[in-house]
Structure 1
């Protein structure tokens, strides 16, 4: 049984911006991924709405990824693959962070993961960094505009190349979710994944993971 931890924010937790609730397990991308991979894999969801890479939110507690990543990692050891998709919340105007600052926060997080060698199978960290799809500028006319602040869409579009550079620097794999066909933002706030986007992301991840472990192919969803 291979253990895969999916660490992220509301787009891993499965926030449904149409209802304000949460997509069910069958809709969320980690749930799709578990189905596609089959019985030989344990896919663990570790998503939290509002989570950042390293920034402490002055309005809500417990949202800094770097402050909780070690106990989360150790609670699921031994881990074969750690999938990390963060960055969307880091662009909030209240953090006053540039895209470059956010990438440096990602580097700190990756270095922290790599220092926990005892949690990974074989003693070496296997990490996949996913750059989240950028926020659509139409979010400015949605209910979340006041929460995010100005210029968040523009800043989020700068993240993917910086995250790719950071992943390479740290020896992690990289995937730009914004380039996956079918990955789109739900047209209720333009910053959370639609159900189709969850499915598309899971499909791309399944292909990569099965190739990594030389498995036979993606299972059909029933």
Structure 2
């Protein structure tokens, strides 16, 4: 059995745009991906660690625990051995209370990659490979999220390219979710159910390639 950790935010948690409800596991992209890999005969288990509002390395001034760096090494330790870590963060770095742009978010992801690689796992356990996924770009924020993400559609420009550059430098695999999925027009940030399906279907072969012949 190969264990895959998805370390992410509300886009992967499966929040239904315009609500505070959550899609069921089979409808969220990690669940779609797991089911497809299982159907292909792979013995995999996807562990979701997806927190609404999670940043890369910054604090939320209104909610505690949203700094993605805090506790990450211990999460890797407790979930080891891992066959793969899928890291999909960055969207919340562009909330209106932050001045960050694409470069800043990419450096946050680079910091997380280094934290994963230096986690205090048990002797003999493998340092897991990392797949960085660029989230789909923010549209014009709408509804109750509009004040929280005001200006986010401009600040996120260039994130995919910045993350790809970081992955090239650090030797990580990379996938751009924006090539297959788009943010919902309902709130401009999250993924509708059909986009979770598209992303999960696209991620399955990408992850299978990272897992190799194992499983």
CA deviation vs aligned residue, 1:1-24 (integer Å, no higher than 9, x gap): 001001100011111114321111
Equivalent-residue separation in structure 2 for 1:88 and 1:101 (angstroms): 12
Unaligned 5+ segments in structure 1 are: 217-222
CA deviation vs aligned residue, 1:109-154 (integer Å, no higher than 9, x gap): 11111112736986333000000000112x2x422111123x2101
Report SS of the residue matched to 1:74: helix
Q: 1:190 aligns with which of 183, 188, 191?
A: 188
Equivalent-residue separation in structure 2 for 1:212 and 1:9 (angstroms): 22
Report SS of the residue matched to 1:45: strand
Moved more, 122-131 or 80-89: 122-131
Equivalent-residue separation in structure 2 for 1:201 and 1:16 (angstroms): 15
Equivalent-residue separation in structure 1 for 2:25 and 2:75 (angstroms): 20
For 2:110, the equivalent position in structure 1 comes to 107
Unaligned 5+ segments in structure 2 are: none
1:158–1:121 CA distance, 2 compared to 1 (3 A): farther
Please state how far the C-alpha of 1:187 moved relative to its aligned partner.
2.4
Q: Which has the higher contact order (CA 8 A, sep 6+)?
A: 2
- The alignment covers a number of residue pairs equal to 211
The structure that is helix-richer by fraction is: 1
Over the residues paired in the alignment, what is the CA RMSD in angstroms? 1.9
1:142–1:105 CA distance, 2 compared to 1 (3 A): same
* 8 Å Cα contact 2:7/2:50 also seen in 1: yes
* 8 Å Cα contact 2:57/2:69 also seen in 1: yes
1:34–1:119 CA distance, 2 compared to 1 (3 A): farther
Structure 1 length-normalised TM: 0.88
Moved more, 116-125 or 73-82: 116-125
1:40-79 paired onto structure 2 within 5 Å: 40-79=43-82
Equivalent-residue separation in structure 2 for 1:105 and 1:128 (angstroms): 15
1:192–1:120 CA distance, 2 compared to 1 (3 A): farther
Please state how far the C-alpha of 1:77 moved relative to its aligned partner.
0.6
* 8 Å Cα contact 2:73/2:118 also seen in 1: no
Q: 1:201 aligns with which of 199, 203, 207?
A: 199
